[in-house]
A and B are shown apart, each in its own frame.
Chain A
Amino acid sequence: MEILKCEGVRKIYGSGNNQVVALDRIDLSVEKGEFVAIVGASGSGKSTLLHMLGSVDQPTEGKIFVEGTDISTMSRTQAAIFRRRKVGLVYQFYNLIPTLTVRKNILMPLALDKRKPNQEYLEQIVDSLGIADKMECLPNELSGGQQQRAAIARSLIYRPALLLGDEPTGNLDRKNSREIIDLLKLSNRNLNQTILLITHDEKVALEADRIVTIEDGRIVSDEKRR
Chain B
Amino acid sequence: MPADDRSATPAVPTKGVGGDPRESNDDVEEAPGKIWFRDLDEAVIEADRCVQCASCVAACPSDSIGIDAEEKRPTLVRMCTGCSRCWDFCPRSGLRYERLIQLAGEERGLEEPETYAARATGGPAEAGQDGGVVTGLLAALLEAGEIDGAVVARESDEQPLRADAFLATSREDLLEAGGSIYTQTMGLGQIEDLLADADLGAEPDLALVGTPCTIQGATALGRYGHEPADPIALTVALMCTRSFEYDRLRSRIESLGVDPERIESLDVGGGVLTAVDDAGELLLETDVESFDAAGLRGCDECADFVGGGADVSVGSVGTDEGYTTVVVRTNNGRSAWNRAEDALEATEIERPEPLERLAEWNRRRAESVLPRGFDPDAEVGITYEDHRRAYDGTDREPQPLNPARVHQYEEWC
Q: Do A and B come from one complex?
A: no
Give B residues with C-beta under 8 Å from A: none
